Amino acid sequence: MLQGRGIITTMETIPFIGFSLYEMFHMFIFWSFIGWGIEVCWMTLETGEYQNRGFLNMPICPIYGFGVIMVVVFFRPISHTIIPLFLVTSLLCTTFELLVGLGMEKLFHARWWDYSHEKFNFKGYICLKISILWGLGCVTVVRLVQPLVEKVIDMMPVKMGLALICIWSVLIVIDLISSICAVNKLNNRLKQIDEISKIMLLSAVKIGENLSQETLEIKEKYDKLAEKADEKTQSLKEMYSRHVSPKEGQSRLAEINAEIKEKYGKIVESADFKLSEWKEKYEKLISFRDSSVDRLIKAFPHLRSTSYSDSMEAMKSRIREINILQKRKRTKAEKAPPEDTSEEVPAERGG
């Protein structure tokens, strides 16, 4: 692009910014990677295992890259200070984290992190402890690390830098599309789980109501008979003894019991069949493993769906159960003694 036409190229310093697009892109990648590494170390200490943190599959957390660029660009005039720099960067990064959290919740109908367990938090999106860490981190970055990063970028051959920009751009676009598809998969699965849960609940309620109604009707009939029986007990006994033999009475009572059992048996069998069918579908959905969806759930332990919270918790619980079983199997297999594959040599017989 021609400079004479006032078009800024990737290598030109942008007015009032102090960096070119070329420099800012490499700064963004570097600090996104460093942020990802910090998140991995933090969660390893918290959970005791590795977790590929971040929305993307790649080893970068874009929120850190954008955050550092904003801090370096906006607060360069006070970069020589400590207290003012700490205060304003804490405020900026906290505000940015809040806006990102709200935006991702509105866009994907999910809460990706939750500081509700921390003191002095605001609706779980931000908290005082993380704000302080943001400020300390930004002071360290601006005063100590960022000057070295700028020197390394300047020392990099331009052709290699441009090639890296192209490669990273393509990878990020592909990864972003893949991650968005994974979130859509997750939401669709949660929707199906939620619908099946409601169907099972409605089926159980409907069947229960039918059984309850039938029970009340039968009870009412027997109550009326009992009232009449109280008045005419003696006469009924006499009539019954004259016209019906004891064996015939027992036979008739057995027939009535058989009719009742048959009637209720059909209702229960029908209910069991329908519920078992929906339950099987439900179990398949919450137990189905998808690597992209599993990674998101593992990367964000506090991930909550704003639309299908119960279904999300059920699926996360099942995934944890499956992971625990798999871990136990691996541990058992590792501790099992190796099989002896050597063949026994038959002893030679004496001549």
**Mean pLDDT across the stretch 171-180?**
90
The beta strands (E) that lie in 136-190 are given as: none
Task: Give the highest mean pLDDT range of 31-40, 198-207, 271-280, 315-324.
Answer: 31-40
Quick one: CA torsion of 178, 179, 185, 186, rounded to 10 degrees?
A: 160
**Mean pLDDT across the stretch 40-66?**
84
Looking at the structure, tell me whether residues 111 and 61 fall in a common domain.
yes
161 located within any domain? no
pLDDT of residue 1 exceeding 60: no
Looking at the structure, tell me whether residues 29 and 142 fall in a common domain.
yes
Task: Quote the mean pLDDT of the chain.
Answer: 77
Instruction: Give the tens place of pLDDT for each residue, 270-291.
Output: 555 566 676 777 777 776 677 7
Looking at the structure, tell me whether residues 130 and 227 fall in a common domain.
no
Higher-confidence position of 56 and 140: 140
Looking at the structure, tell me whether residues 13 and 137 fall in a common domain.
yes
Note the pLDDT of residue 151: 94
Q: What DSSP line would sit under 149-191, residue for residue?
A: HHHHHHHS-HHHHHHHHHHHHHHHHHHHHHHHHHHHHHHHHHH
pLDDT of residue 173 exceeding 90: yes
Note the pLDDT of residue 291: 75
Q: What DSSP line would sit under 50-77, residue for residue?
A: ----SSSSSS--HHHHHHHHHHHHHTGG
Looking at the structure, tell me whether residues 205 and 295 fall in a common domain.
yes
pLDDT of residue 216 exceeding 90: no
Contacts of residue 208, defined as CB under 8 A and 6 or more positions apart, other chains included, come to none
Looking at the structure, tell me whether residues 220 and 303 fall in a common domain.
yes
Note the pLDDT of residue 339: 61
Instruction: Give the tens place of pLDDT for each residue, 176-205.
Output: 998 888 888 888 888 887 787 777 767 666
pLDDT of residue 92 exceeding 50: yes
Residue (of 195, 217, 165, 188) closest to 293 by Cα position: 188
Q: How confident is the model at residue 23 (pLDDT cuts 50, 70, 90)?
A: very high
**Mean pLDDT across the stretch 254-273?**
58
Looking at the structure, tell me whether residues 216 and 298 fall in a common domain.
yes
Looking at the structure, tell me whether residues 117 and 48 fall in a common domain.
yes
Q: How confident is the model at residue 301 (pLDDT cuts 50, 70, 90)?
A: confident
Contacts of residue 1, defined as CB under 8 A and 6 or more positions apart, other chains included, come to 7, 8, 9
Residue (of 102, 285, 287, 121) closest to 199 by Cα position: 285
For tokens 């954008």, the residue is 66
Rounded CA separation 233/333 (Å): 74
Based on its alpha-carbon atoms, the radius of gyration of the chain, rounded to whole angstroms, reads 35
Looking at the structure, tell me whether residues 113 and 251 fall in a common domain.
no
Looking at the structure, tell me whether residues 276 and 148 fall in a common domain.
no
Instruction: Indicate the number of domains in the chain.
Output: 2
**Cβ atoms of 36 and 61 closer than 8 Å:** yes
Note the pLDDT of residue 3: 42
pLDDT of residue 5 exceeding 70: no
Looking at the structure, tell me whether residues 144 and 77 fall in a common domain.
yes
Contacts of residue 322, defined as CB under 8 A and 6 or more positions apart, other chains included, come to 287, 289
Which structural domain range is residue 100 located in?
Answer: 3-156
Q: How confident is the model at residue 298 (pLDDT cuts 50, 70, 90)?
A: confident
For tokens 């019991």, the residue is 257
- What share of the chain in percent tops pLDDT 70? 70
Task: Give the highest mean pLDDT range of 98-102, 238-242, 258-262.
Answer: 98-102
Rounded CA separation 112/55 (Å): 9
